[in-house]
Structure 1
């Protein structure tokens, strides 16, 4: 399979990727869009003429961002809705309230390397937020996504190379909790979701791709020491505008029409690797494994009950 390449790269910005794209009469939904990469992704999508909904926990912050996006893009079809990805009831209410088609879903919200914490259902917090919440959202919106064909964009991370999905102990019931292993597992789940959603929903003209946005300092780093932590060399650091570029590419580029189940970094498809890399590139073979992707879907359906398609 030939890797997909584009004219864009490490330094490209979301605005550059979106330039010249016309998505008038299309509808987009971005989770975690009250700050950081989500806000910039929503801004770029709004600049194409799409109607954009910011799905956020903090609607006050979301309204501030929506107002700023409307003012900077001239697009006033920017809306805010409350969504808590750790609360199945919140997700169910959100999906029940959605009306009409949805053309672009950007699963952007996430937590990284947080202290040990569990949802009311006993689900490990990072797996619940980064994967299960978005799984429930996408399956709950399936009919809206299928109405006119859609793209799902899943923000993963090179951190997926830290861990596959550990099937026998997803929620650290027996393993000693490690924040980075939990993060890695959840980011692997993001890629596996894209693989299986593309396969399962092919007849609905729904495609899903995953991506590594790059090393960007946002609120995501609140548990890891932030910009002064030194975890990533300075030459690998991107601005928020650069970090949102790959998400926007997968959401809008004609080059990705009909393409799904793949993983991108720096606006290009990443090579498959069989060992952890010392760069921010490469996708672990286990993250693209079709059998693992189907197994994760079944596991997720079982955890969430009959609300998943």
Structure 2
């Protein structure tokens, strides 16, 4: 009676081992990411250089980038970051940079092409910022790009760089001799707002230019953008007043959701019929002067869902 049981257990054990031994193990990742391309370096002051590059690719995923100066590591950055400022540099000196991509397995790409930028000469203490750039315009450039143009700013010494901002975050830098910038990697069906600041060798930045808005084309098959448009903001002591034009939804919009600095702030509801044209709302904020706030809002659509966010606007408390 015991022998058949032993045989059955032995057979079951053999089958289990056979099944386990046949399981496929994940292949080891030994392939390095591609080399970062389109690397540029722009001197922004006597002690800083702005380095940018295009994204690398990988058979799994790129997890980060490392920037080198003269072959020595100076910055490690996450995969979503494609630019950085290298600071603390010697004035009036050439500095050479390369970039490498890395993946989760520790594979590292070869060095990118080397680029060199010469920091500006140190100047006497300069506390005067440039004037603001004017006549900013933005036009689509393909499905995921935009081209910005502006009139140059003025400075008591000279403008050394222009910084492009989106939602109060710098996304691009060009030399002070440029009056145009090309942006890529924009999402489809999204409302963007861009501003430009001029910068001099002493790192003084101008006030923001007036904003320029762009809504990218929707993805194939996606619904048209439903963001409020013509958004303006005006800061007074302890308050920010917004005005905007409601989206065209085929019915009056009675409810909006307002976000402040990327977080939900309040819901705006009209109890009666809202006005057909531009509408407004005043938001109470702390009265501390000089604080920057970024605001966006979206409408509740007739089907009960929330629409797209408006292009962001920045207000500085007074």
Report the TM-score, using the length of structure 1 for normalisation. Answer: 0.25
Structure number having the greater strand percentage: 2
Structure number having the greater helix percentage: 1
Higher-Rg structure is 2
Report the TM-score, using the length of structure 2 for normalisation. Answer: 0.25
Q: Which has the higher contact order (CA 8 A, sep 6+)?
A: 1
